[in-house]
Every structure is written in structure tokens, then in C-alpha cells.
Structure 1
Amino acid sequence: MTVRPYSDRQGSKREQVEEMFDSISPRYDLLNRLFSLGIDQGWRKRVVRMLGREPVERLLDVATGTADLAILGSTKAREVVGVDISEGMLKLGREKVQKRQLTDRVTLQRADSADLPFTDAHFDAVTVAFGVRNFEDLERGIAEMVRVLRP
């Protein structure tokens, strides 16, 4: 299923999402906390608890944004890779990772959920928080996450 772009302007939904998040990235965390009344933080903690008691070797966080879930995921994974299409969001995420001294465990890179640059069965766990709503092709994005997940 392909989702239509947000506006009638030129450009795919992916391009529009990338542009939008690049432009709001400096205020994203604040807006997310305000609009969700802080509930977004609880949701992320719940996702990390769902990873189980035992640490996983490799965790992929898709649509990582400013890396909140990737950073939390580092408490349960030896290696975390966060991917996002917005360089603006990744820049803020990298600053957070560095501030928390997690650069040896958490790496962030620009990538599209519909074309993940990893081999099949590369990760022990895959997470995605709110970014799934912005996938241009939901079925392909989910198929890619399944492809890189170990059985």
C-alpha cells in the first residue's frame, strides 16, 4: 500500500516527510513531549521492556528520529543502529548519543525504511516507534524490517 503525499506539491510523501522533519527537528522533542503530555516517553520504555530480560546483540531502530528509542534500546542491546531519512533529526540524535557517551554502542545513519542497507537476518530485534505512520510504502517498510530480522 502506497500512501499519498501530504500535499499536492511536487514530491513523494517520502520527500515531503524528510523536508518536514528536517525543518522541525530543532523543536521536535519539545513538541513531542507537549503534544503527547509526556506519554511518548512511557511508550518508548514499554517497547524496550518488550525486548525481554536478556540483552540482544544487535538492535535496529527504524525511523529513529532524534534517537530516543535507540538510546533507551542501548540498555538492552550491545549494539544499536538507528536509521532515519531526516538528516536534521539524525544530527540531534548524534548529539544526544555523544552527550550520553554511547558512541561505542549506538550509531545513527541515514536510510529509508523501504530500502534498509543491511544483509538479511542481520539484527536480533527491530523497533519502530511513531515513524511507521510516515512510511511511504507501509508494506515494503514492514517487509524490510522483517527481512533484516533474524528468525
Structure 2
Amino acid sequence: MKGKEWYQADDIAREYDSKRFSRGGQLIDQREKAAVLDALGPVEDKNILEIACGTGRFTVMLAQQGADIIGLDISRAMMQQGREKARRAGVEDNIEFLRGDAARLPFPDDHFDAVFAMRFFHLADTPTKFLTEMARVSKNQVFFDTFNDQSLRVAYNWLLPMGSHLYSANDVHRLLDNAGLSLVEANHDFVLPFGFYRKIPNGIAQPFRSFDLAVGDSLVGDDVASVSYWNARVPSATDAETRAEEHASDAE
């Protein structure tokens, strides 16, 4: 089973977290959650939208931090797992799970303090449209990750059930420009791809992660990283006016 049908199957949803974030995958889960928290900063009382929330790993975490959050996904089965997590964590009143299309978000402009998506853009068939919609409904911030086209992920990318779109840095910069977003910060990680960590016990994964981090801190680290985290800002009206004045000045 491939593509959207695979992602929306009940048995896939039930096993999704255990297959990806147990064993060495725990290191992936920890790093991704840290990336989201670092990017969004204090989230208490913030109004946040998560695109492709899946089983609610980040949705529930941010609700526990005091955010009011909507998690949007195409899979009812995945969101049911998220609702159960929210109930167990006692934060169901802070979360709304909504089935919807990320290319046509059912929200007005500038509705959220921040909008983010994890594990989404490698599946996006129209990434410019999705990112533009995320920028439209955000007042301030858009955060997302990508898998990179010059990394070890290339070696097994074709095996993945839903396929995977890999990006270069130039690809992402074009997406940001087309969506009218300004890049604030980019972080790059995981020389060894996610699939490697998921296959080995956590105790064995730790030394490999230490090696991974050492390579990541070297001069070639950013170039060989398999994952990038992109933190972008929605320009304010003042920013737009400044750019217009600069363009007018250049034209004179």
C-alpha cells in the first residue's frame, strides 16, 4: 500500500510511533521536539497551528507547555491517536484536531501566532502552495523541516511507502521567497539518516549519535546533514513598506 492510503490506514496509525520513535528512534523524537521548542520559544497562551500533526507528538507537547493549538491532518486514524494522547496527558481542552487540506487552510489571514509543520514537506506535492498558505494564516512565524538532497537519505529514499521529496538549500530559499517569508535561522542535523537509528537499540544508537554530532559540528556538517530545520518570519507591514521604498530608491 502506497501514498495517502498507507498513511491513513488504522494499523499504520496504531504502530506509527512505536516503529519510528522507539529503540534508536527515541533520539530522533527528542531532537525534533527540541527543535520545535527552540524555534517557537515560550508558547504559553500562544495560538498555534500544526500542519500534518499526525499522532500528536508535537501538538500534545505544546499544549502541555500552555499553548492553544490546532492540529490539522488528512488522517482520521492518526488524529485519533493524538486525541488519546491528549486525553492521557490531560490537555484535550487545549487542542482541537481538525481534518483538512493544508493547501486550503480554513482560517483567516494572520490568525495564528505561529504555524509549523514537521515531517511534512518531504511529502508535499505542491510545496509552494502549502508554504504560502502557512504564511498567510500566521502573524509572525513559520517553522518547518526538510530532508536534504545531498545526504545519505538518498540511498534508501525510493523504498519509502509515501515516497519522499528531497530539497537543496536553494530549493528552500526559493520556497521562502515565493511565500514572502524571511529566513531567521536554519539548523542542520543527522548525518546518519533516520532509518538507521530506527533499526538499532537505543543503547547502541547513543555512540553513533555522538559521532553524528561530531561530524555535524565539523566544517562539512551542514553539507552532509540529512535534515534541516527552517525558522522563518512573516514580514510586517513596516517591512513591506521599507522594501517598497528601497525598490523605489533603486529605480531612481
- Does 2:2 match 1:20? no
Q: Select the structure with the greater relative contact order (CA < 8 A; seq sep ≥ 6).
A: 1
Verify: 1:144 aligned to 2:130, yes or no: no
* 47-56 or 87-96: bigger deviation: 47-56
Counterparts in 2 of 1:129 and 1:108: CA distance versus 1, 3 Å: same
CA-to-aligned-CA distance 1:62-118 (integer Å, 9 cap, x gap): 000001111112244531000001111011111111111111101111011111111
| 8 Å CA contact retained: 1:61, 1:83 | yes
Seq. identity, %: 27
1:144–1:36 distance in 2 versus 1, CA, 3 Å = farther
> Structure 1, residues 2-54: CA drift from partner, whole Å, max 9, x if none?
xxxx97xxxxxxxx32x111221111001111486223322122212221236
- The TM-score, its normalising length taken from structure 1, stands at 0.81
Q: Does 1:31 align with 2:19?
A: yes
Residues 33-72 of structure 1: pairs in structure 2 closer than 5 A: 33-34=21-22, 37-42=25-30, 43-53=32-42, 55-72=44-61
Q: More deviation in 50-59 or 84-93?
A: 50-59
8 Å contact from structure 1 (residues 63, 132) kept in 2: no
Change (3 A) 1:35 1:120: farther
Q: Which runs of 5+ in 2 are unaligned?
A: 141-252
Supply the AA of the counterpart residue of 1:88.
Answer: A
Corresponding residue SS for 1:59: strand
Distance 2:17 2:36 in 1: 18
Over 3 Å counting, the alpha-carbon distance change for 1:125 and 1:136 in structure 2 is: same
Q: Tell me how many residue pairs correspond in the alignment.
A: 137
Partner SS for 1:114: coil
The one-letter amino acid of 1:59's match is: I
2: CA distance between counterparts of 1:127 and 1:27? 24
The separation in 2 between residues aligned to 1:54 and 1:93, in whole angstroms, is: 19
- Pair 1:122-2:111 in alignment: yes
- Scaled by the length of structure 2, the TM-score of the pair is 0.50
Counterpart code for 1:33: F
Aligned to 1:11: none
Superposition RMSD in Å:
2.0
Instruction: Return structure 1 stretches of 4+ with deviation > 6 angstroms.
Output: none
Q: What's the CA shift for 1:134?
A: 1.5
